[in-house]
Amino acid sequence: MLDLKLIRRDPDGVRASLARRGDGSAERLDDLLRLDEEWRSATATAEAERARQKAAGEQIAAAKGKGEDASAAIAEMKAVADRVKEQTARAKAAEDELQGLLRSLPNLTDPTAAPQDTVVREWGEATKTGRDHLELAGERIDMERGARLSGSRFAYLRGDLARLELTLVSWALDKLAGHGFEAVVPPVLVREEALYGTGFLPDTEQQIYHLPADDLYLVGTSEVALASLHAGEIVEGLPLRYAGFSPCFRREAGAAGKDTRGIFRVHQFDKVEMFSFVEPSASADEHERILSIEEEILQELEVPYRVVNIAVDDLGASAAKKFDCEAWLPGQGRYRELTSCSNTTDYQARRLDIRFRPDGGKPETLHTLNGTAVAVQRTLIALLENGQQEDGSVALPEVLRPYGAPSSLPSALG
């Protein structure tokens, strides 16, 4: 949620920042300012009338104490009470509409967020082409039985590929612990306010699984649960950094084709997610820090990638700026998104009422950031396709050996 005080103080700056998104949110700012003025005006009028009401009450009491006629004062008090009720209702209506409009606005954009997708740098040799992950995995990725069980875009991971997932997760959590992230296994069923707090509602309803009988939602990322870990709190000891591991669920859209072949875009997947709570002055540096960890992971996994500064008109509602790391997938012969990291500034923290007390002073809203450490299914694709050998076997990165991973997976080709 945006800071209403900032909107009042610098409406032109806020309007210009929102206009970069190209989603029409800037055009709603005039209505918001009008409602804010109406709310404040009605509230001030109601308060003034309440003061008159109190004074009239005192006059009535004094008149009655003296045995004087108080009928005129009583009539005036009734009229004042009616005006108080009218202005209070007017203020409430304006405030409700104002808050609804404020909730609908996305975050302000970082001035350094790119006007269009911009490649920042590349790493590794992105020239290899070859078989895709389904050919290389064979029955270790069982789409047919997954579909029979749950419908399209569900899969069984079997055998050494299932074990490789657990190896990846263990390795990633140890690596993140070395960078100061506390491991967390969070709930994956959350209430509506958690999704609202992170900006997924109202925005991405079409992607979210809802359980109406319990009024709970399945998360599409552990970012939702990690952000709510300190909801309503005044926290101490910033920065606070967490590494959440959880299954994730999304009603992924997409036409039939390479996006929906295999496990690239599935409805259920596993992910290790980084989440940071920091002071506002530290959020830009923290964003770069999270990105550097994502790159470190990809480099140690020997996956060629490029970093993309995501176009400002493609940012989610909560993000002020976002980087994607796109891995080279030989089976598709192109780069595809593997991880992302976003600076959401004070947008989520304001919605979730998470604050800190700088130098023991008055509590202020902090900043939150998130980033994917390992999106397991897509990382498995990248490992399979980039590690493929002529005979169909798959060489695995040296860094996973201490965690029990073999040097290679045997060929699944007949």
State the DSSP string of 262-312. Answer: TTSS-SEEEEEEEEEEE-GGGHHHHHHHHHHHHHHHHHHTT--EEEEE--G
Q: Please say if 145 is a catalytic residue.
A: no
Residue 295: Cβ within 10 Å count: 17
Is 378 tagged catalytic? yes
Tokens of 414: 């007949």
Contacts 24+ apart (CB under 8 A), 220-223: 220/248, 220/249, 220/250, 221/248, 221/271, 221/273, 221/370, 222/184, 222/186, 222/188, 222/246, 222/248, 222/271, 222/273, 222/275, 223/198, 223/273, 223/275, 223/370
Whole-angstrom distance, CA of residue 195 vs CA of residue 414: 46
Active-site choice (97, 279, 337, 364): 337
Q: Which two tokens stand for residue 167?
A: 């190896």
Active-site residue identified among 153, 265, 289, 336? 265
Identify the bridge partners of residue 364 per DSSP, sorted by sequence position: 356
Nearby residues of 247 by Cβ (< 8 Å), 6 or more positions away: 188, 268, 269, 270
Annotated active-site residue 250? The verdict is yes
Alpha carbon distance, N-terminus to C-terminus of the chain: 56
Active-site residue 385, yes or no? no
Which one is catalytic: 273, 340, 351, 355?
Answer: 340
DSSP 388: B
Chain-centroid distance, C-alpha 281: 20
Quick count: other Cβ atoms within 10 Å of Cβ 151?
A: 9
Count H helices, E strands: the chain?
A: 12, 18
90 flagged as catalytic: no
Instruction: Please report, for residues 49, 73, 92, 203, the alpha-carbon distance to residue 85 in angstroms, rounded to integers and kept in the order given.
Output: 10, 18, 11, 36
Read off the amino acid at residue 107. N
Catalytic residue among 250, 336, 350, 351: 250
Which token pair is 63? 């008149």
Among the options 21, 342, 378, 385, which is catalytic?
A: 378
Query: Do residues 136 and 117 make contact, with C-beta atoms less than 8 angstroms apart?
Result: no
Strands (DSSP E) along 138-221, which ranges? 141-142, 156-157, 182-184, 189-190, 209-211, 216-218
H or E stretch at 181:
none
**Active site amino acids:** 250, 265, 337, 340, 378
